[in-house]
Amino acid sequence: MSSNDKSCRNCAVLKAQLEQQEDAAARYLKFIQSQNELIQFLSQNKSTLEASSPRRHFSQYAYEQNYNGSDASFDQGIRRARGKQIQMTKDCRAFIGSITSDIDKDSLKHCLEEAFGPVDSIDIISSKACAFADFASPTAYHNAVSEGAVLVNGIALSVERVRKPKPRK
């Protein structure tokens, strides 16, 4: 057995591994595309679904919420609704990495909106070379995170899910 035969076998193995990797990448991209299409479909039809569902009468709502007519119960309901809104904002917050001094809030927001959809706010942390973006919709957030990157002023920036901060020692 010559050294050429051995290298050809190694090449064949490497070629097979490369084909498997390309196949897995293609399947992953199809999965992401299907997921994005489903999210867009659901977000577009959300208003249709809500409009077709029967509206609840206030007395039924009050009964379900154990509303006893006091202002305290009403305030609790308001706080609960605000909590859900705040949670929704946190769920649509993305981490943007590799920020340089050339990138400002307006250019970053413009590029994110152009690529993925509406953005509510941008917080740039220059000392950490990163930023946080609050997307206006779950669809825009999902598109950004699944893409994983955005090009701003010719610089590729990473876009990731926000992770919980590590506890300090």
Within a domain: 50: no
At CA 101, angle to CA 100 and CA 107, rounded to 5? Answer: 85
pLDDT higher than threshold 50 for residue 31: yes
SS3 per residue for 77-122: HHHHHHHHHHHHHHHCEEEEECCCCCCCHHHHHHHHHHHCCCEEEE
Can you give the pLDDT at residue 35? 79
| 107 and 153 both lie in a single domain | yes
User: Could you tell me the pLDDT band of residue 37, with boundaries at 50, 70 and 90?
Assistant: confident
Alpha carbon separation from 142 to 16, 24, 95 (Å, rounded): 33, 21, 12
| Torsion angle defined by CA atoms of residues 148, 150, 125 and 138, in that order, rounded to the nearest 10 degrees | -60
Can you give the pLDDT at residue 88? 45
| 97 and 155 both lie in a single domain | yes
User: Could you tell me the pLDDT band of residue 47, with boundaries at 50, 70 and 90?
Assistant: low
Q: Which residue has the higher pLDDT, 164 or 77?
A: 164
Name the DSSP letter for residue 68. Answer: -
Show the domain range for 86.
58-91
| 103 and 149 both lie in a single domain | yes
Amino acid at site 104: D
pLDDT higher than threshold 90 for residue 124: yes
What is the pLDDT averaged over residues 7-34? 75
Within a domain: 139: yes
| 110 and 138 both lie in a single domain | yes
User: Could you tell me the pLDDT band of residue 44, with boundaries at 50, 70 and 90?
Assistant: confident
Q: What percentage of residues in the chain have a pLDDT greater than 70?
A: 68
Within a domain: 112: yes
